[in-house]
Amino acid sequence: MAKSLYMQIKQTLGTDVVFSLEDVRQFREESPDALKEALSRLAKKGQIERVAYGIYVINSGHLSEDDLNEQFLRYRYLGWGKKINGFIAGQGYIDGLLHKGFPKENLEIVSNKITSGKKSVYQYGRRVILRKPYVKVTTGNVEMVSFLTYLTQASPADLKKNHTLLANHVRERHLSAPDAISVLPNFPGKTSRILLSSGLYKLMWKH
């Protein structure tokens, strides 16, 4: 007997994990329109929860609002699984280097999903700043692009305060000068000046 769509989702994707139509299409051979209708029916029955347009979850009841919000933002803007679409910027970038986890406030995200400039949105009652990246974010360049984005946008005071942390990050993650050179033309001119004057560029040659 064929498994119901609900059981397939539960057994394949699991509970308390956000998913979209595209995820379901990986194991269900039906047309997109048919699957949209099927997911809509499951949501109306309360078997799955609609998190946002086109994004759902089977909520076990143990998923907090903060956890759900984090999953949604990661899925929508940062990437899921092996796919990378963006990164956390601003103070959240520094918090990440300090292993403080997902920011609870002052969240700033740079994502390929944002096609122009900067915008501010509200998600689950919290303000999120979304920015277009200087260069398309990929698995191969995300560490360098996020690093250079922080240098570009941080204040001189914050750069001075976090210099040791940033220098250690360059050493530990082996951020290299050739990788920096490959993406720097996409950044404002001041990024190169900051990288050189801070001494961080010199460290990139010492691997």
Picking from 38, 57, 76, the residue at the C-terminal end of a domain is: 57
Final residue before a domain boundary, out of 34, 57, 80: 57
Write out pLDDT tens, residues 105-159: 889 999 999 998 899 988 766 789 999 999 999 999 999 999 999 999 999 999 9
Q: Is residue 100 situated within a structural domain? A: no
- What's the pLDDT score for residue 30? 86
Q: Is residue 126 part of a domain?
A: no
**Which residues, in sequence order, are CB contacts of 131 under 8 Å at separation 6+?**
89, 108, 109, 110, 111, 114, 117, 118
- Average pLDDT, whole number, for the chain? 92
Res 1: pLDDT: 34
**Mean pLDDT throughout 4-13?**
92
Instruction: Over range 53-73, report the average pLDDT.
Output: 90
Cα torsion 31, 37, 40, 45 to 10°: value is -120
Average pLDDT over residues 77-96: 92
Q: Is the pLDDT of residue 166 over 60?
A: yes
pLDDT score recorded for residue 123: 75
Q: Helix/strand/coil (H, E, C) string of the chain?
A: CCCCHHHHHHHHCCCCCCEEHHHHCCCCCCCHHHHHHHHHHHHHHCCCEEEECCEEECCCCCCCHHHHHHHHHHHHHHCCCCCCCEEEECHHHHHHHCCCCCCCCCEEEEECCCCCCEEEEEECCEEEEEECCCCCCCCCCHHHHHHHHHHHHCCHHHHHHCHHHHHHHHHHHCCCHHHHHHHHHHCCHHHHHHHHHCCHHHHCCCC
Q: Which residue has the higher pLDDT, 169 or 102?
A: 169
Q: Which amino acid is at 88?
A: I
Residue 128 forms part of a structural domain: no
Instruction: Identify whether 85 is part of a domain.
Output: no
Query: What is the model's pLDDT at position 207?
Result: 62
Q: Helix 142-153 and helix 163-173: axis angle, to 10°? A: 170
Residue 155 domain-assigned?
A: yes
What is the model's pLDDT at position 184? 98
Arithmetic mean of pLDDT, 188-202:
97
* Measured distance CA(92)–CA(109) in Å, rounded: 9
Query: Contact 145/134 with Cβ under 8 angstroms?
Result: yes
- Domain tally, the chain: 2
Q: Looking at the DSSP assignment, which residues form a beta bridge with residue 20?
A: 55
Last residue of a domain, one of 57, 73, 100: 57
Q: Residue 41's domain spans which residues?
A: 5-57
Q: Is residue 150 part of a domain?
A: yes
Rounded CA separation 179/141 (Å): 8
pLDDT value of residue 124: 67
Tokens of 201: 């560029």
| Mean per-residue pLDDT, 178-189 | 97
Q: Can you tell me the distance from the alpha carbon of 113 to that of 107, in angstroms, rounded to the nearest whole number?
A: 16
Within-domain flag for 78: no
C-beta separation of 194 from 152 below 8 A: yes
In a domain, 37, yes or no: yes
User: pTM for the full model?
Assistant: 0.87
- Find the range with the poorest average confidence among 14-18, 37-41, 50-54, 91-95: 50-54
pLDDT tens digits for range 17-26: 999 998 999 8
What does the pLDDT read at residue 150? 98
